[in-house]
Structure 1
């Protein structure tokens, strides 16, 4: 059963739900929310767009990932706000409002899984499921000061998740406590008890640190020094050019690879529907969609080849036992209403996506841990491992942060 929730203080709920578990297991007694691009039977999915919601019938079935959680004992309490067509990283929605960033209320929560992060940071649920392609779980996790994990691409079923960028997007989890993140992710991954490699090597992606604000750099260095001392492993600096060869800058993961793949796929999924129906679009999305409309698909085909080359190079480097670290976002959350000028938008998006695109092209599992604080605002420190090394990464992060894993959140 359900009812529409209009008085949620966090501003994260689109619809309050009461979906009890259909089984028992690892998630007994836990509650969760669902990003509003993931289907729940008999409830319309908005995709962050009232026009999309009104033009489509309610689904007959839950997304497979929702069924997994209900069967493992979790209780779904609501659907939460997503940025329009999930095509944003800031979390400001013209149609559904901006969910409250609990730890920095005058600042944006980050997107596009804005409601997922806000519902957790404001204490509404134990965990939330969202989606991530260019950083849509990791960015709000970082800016709201919660845990967020983007798993290896396609480790989790995307059946019942609305189309966005099929070659890039994945379902993931946000939580206030590592314990909750770990439990929910392992249910979704269908984790076995197979042996995993021990943590042997810690790398620091220097390029990502260098484009971060100075205060973020300082906090990241201090945190990594503590982690290094704790596990007895020296942190090794690494540049992306050492992975990809030549003088390849980290920014190529975004501007010359992932961004073009994302845009081409968005044209073929959502773009076709927009062009056919001419729905009402929000102001911010309209500006971004102009770039999609002008996109030259044929000229960008080389980017698809580059994505594959980067994937192969990154994963050849990240052998089992290896973790690579970097700030999840190079900045703290921008203040609400400031992403209105081109300079501010480009600074936030270009630097942020330069970092988030690394795991995107590598199809890597990445965990954003809420361990940094800059100017009173949270910033995540990310840990990534090779493709399909999700269970190793979860164990490694727990080892690195130890008892602090939950008390830091």
Structure 2
């Protein structure tokens, strides 16, 4: 199979750009491939190119001021989503069978959803990150984008170094109703239509559950982002890239300049309670997702915005806030999550995500064909 690698993943002899001309031009080309690249090459895959990423991968929209906006094959007038924008575009446009990207706040899942392809964020640190540029180590993981489930499954099992032990049977199928409710009305309609179709084809009925029921405390789903993951991400970004930005003084694009103002002013010490909150949420969510349980929700709350439309604070907030409410759920709980290209709204794709408990990646891969029915994967 042909694959591309996001431009924060090392390919020996080629400069790793990180979506930034300043980073590319001030860092030498790596001597070695990232370990995940060597795993794929050893398994017989062929790397056909590096894929554009959002600037310093700190974005979910896929528009890079320096390198352009990769084409969303399913909606050419709309953004592809980011920061694994080129990875999704290379798969969606048929240039590659699969791509490896990275995901911290949704950077694999969001472009998979908006481009109408398969995307997997595995359990945190299941895939080696040696040779992947440091970003948010407490959150970020290598992920996979693919045009078909069979390709995604084959690639995942290579990168996960999957054990041969049997996995648990599917015992419980949940739908996170809070996650559905924050989506646009048209997306909600399509989610429930898809769940009804699954029930009719397979007899598997989705059991509705609210976030407060999962964690045993009356708190909103948005807490995963606003009171936990967002602060961890910002603090880690300060440490991994903030030092370079402050000392090298690179020319930043307009979008990253606006976002970095919040990073620069961030109160690290005041946010330490959020790190503790992350661990509490991790424990509670995973206790509610024992082996054999799958939970689903829309990958993104909306279709892809039009290219060039995220130029004001209001527009950015309207896209990012509900999107990260959804993506932070698996992020804070370190869950494996797969975005499936099941939904279509106004002619544009939206993914339906399926997640399982931490380190239950192989179970999730085995459960999807059962949930979606033979021939649907």
TM band (smaller chain)? over 0.9
Alignment of 1:400 onto 2:360: no
Name the counterpart of 1:183: 154
Match of 2:95 among 90, 111, 124: 124
Offset, 1:344: 1.1
Name the counterpart of 1:103: 74
| In structure 2, C-alpha distance between the alignment counterparts of 1:271 and 1:373, rounded to whole Å | 39
Offset, 1:358: 0.1
| In structure 1, C-alpha distance between the alignment counterparts of 2:274 and 2:210, rounded to whole Å | 21
Name the counterpart of 1:362: 333
- For structure 2, list consecutive stretches of 5 or more residues without a partner in the other structure: none
| In structure 1, C-alpha distance between the alignment counterparts of 2:201 and 2:283, rounded to whole Å | 32
Alignment of 1:278 onto 2:249: yes
Q: Secondary structure at the match of 1:405?
A: coil
Name the counterpart of 2:226: 255
Aligned residues of 1:177 and 1:405 also touching (Cα < 8 A)? no
Name the counterpart of 1:78: 49
Match of 1:328 among 289, 296, 299: 299
Name the counterpart of 2:129: 158
Where does 1:8-407 land on structure 2 (aligned, <5 Å)?
Answer: 30-406=1-377
Q: TM-score, normalised by structure 2?
A: 0.99
Aligned residues of 2:215 and 2:288 also touching (Cα < 8 A)? no
Q: TM-score, normalised by structure 1?
A: 0.91
Farther off after superposition, 349-358 or 338-347: 338-347
Tell me the number of residue pairs that the alignment of Structure 1 and Structure 2 aligns: 377
| In structure 1, C-alpha distance between the alignment counterparts of 2:369 and 2:61, rounded to whole Å | 29
1:173-220 deviation per Cα after TM superposition (whole angstroms, max 9, x unaligned): 000111111100110001122111111111111111111001100000
Offset, 1:226: 1.5
| In structure 1, C-alpha distance between the alignment counterparts of 2:150 and 2:332, rounded to whole Å | 28
Aligned residues of 2:62 and 2:82 also touching (Cα < 8 A)? yes
| In structure 1, C-alpha distance between the alignment counterparts of 2:376 and 2:335, rounded to whole Å | 21
| In structure 2, C-alpha distance between the alignment counterparts of 1:310 and 1:51, rounded to whole Å | 37
Q: Secondary structure at the match of 1:300?
A: helix
| In structure 2, C-alpha distance between the alignment counterparts of 1:247 and 1:84, rounded to whole Å | 37
Name the counterpart of 1:17: none
Structure 1 runs of 4+ off > 6 angstroms? Answer: none
Aligned residues of 1:153 and 1:168 also touching (Cα < 8 A)? yes
